[in-house]
Amino acid sequence: MEKKTKNTGTPIDCPVRHMAFIMDGNGRWAKKRGMPREYGHKFGAEAFRRVLRRCSQLGMEAVTFYVFSTENWKRPQKEVDSILKLLDQYLDECEEELKKNDIRFIFIGDRSPFSPQIREKIDKIERISAHYTCIVNLALNYGGRSELVHAANQLLKQGKEEITEQDFANALYTSQSPEPDMIVRTGGDLRISNFLLWQAAYAELYFTDKLWPDFQADDVDEAVENFKNRKRRFGGV
Ligand code: FPP
């Protein structure tokens, strides 16, 4: 039987089960317009909405966005506040969008430093979207290394003396998602920046000079097309 998306009913032929995004270039986008960095994040949040919608329409099983890293606290307080405010506003208004597009939000990272207000909203959104299909991991106060340490500590707490790769994968924040097939980074830099270190083992990497606020639904399609031409060997021949 033909597989169809729940939200649009369109047939699924998307070869990318899980796409992950490093959303880079907001600050430069704003600077080019003579505006403060916060302005770039505002338009970055718009790009996030567009891309999320497109990925779910394509029928991807999972999508991951690097929203705020463990290192991003080093930015000026005004900028940190502006990103957290955008997040807070988004949490207030996303419910309808999740329902319409069959999206399940999972917040990955250490949420303990966030305000009780944001933590409550995160918990609520996870709860009310838990039965939807397309998993969207929002990386907040996330770092790949701290995720690995967190997973190791979880396994120690379980009293394990010896572990398998599967045990480790199960202890990661992303245990509910298939491994990313493709990691997309906008903004022209060619690095992984402490993102999905374990999960990236066999991911195809896709770099574009486009700055994140300029990234469109069509650009998602282009990345998917690019993926179709990759020869994945997973270490074989
Ligand atoms: C990297 O660009 C971007 C960030 C650290 C923040 C990403 C946040 C958003 C896209 C807004 C998210 C909002 C919601 C609602 C999820 P940069 O600032 O490092 O850009 P630069 O390299 O040009 O300085």
pLDDT per residue of the chain (237 residues) written in tens, 0 to 9: 445 555 555 556 799 999 999 999 999 999 999 999 999 999 999 999 999 999 999 999 999 999 999 999 999 999 999 999 999 999 999 999 999 999 999 999 999 999 999 999 999 999 999 999 999 999 999 999 999 999 999 999 999 889 999 999 999 999 999 999 999 999 999 999 999 999 999 999 999 999 999 999 999 999 999 999 998 888 887
pTM across the whole model: 0.95
DSSP tag of 178: P
Which of 7, 24, 137, 181 is the catalytic position?
A: 24
Query: Active-site residue 137, yes or no?
Result: no
Q: Going edge to edge, which strands form the sheet with 182-185? A: 103-108, 134-142, 62-69, 18-22, 182-185, 204-207
Span from the CA of 236 to the centroid of ligand 1 (angstroms): 37
Around ligand 1, the residues with Cβ closer than 6 Å are: 23-28, 37, 41, 44-45, 48, 67, 72, 83, 86-87, 90, 187
Of 24, 52, 218, whose CA–CA distance to 138 is shortest? Answer: 52
Query: Are 195 and 20 in contact, with CB atoms under 8 Å apart?
Result: yes
Q: Quick one: CA dihedral 140, 144, 149, 150, positive or negative?
A: positive
What lies within 8 Å, CB to CB, of 115 at 6+ separation is none
DSSP tag of 208: -
Cα–Cα distance for residue pair 47/38, rounded to 1 Å: 14
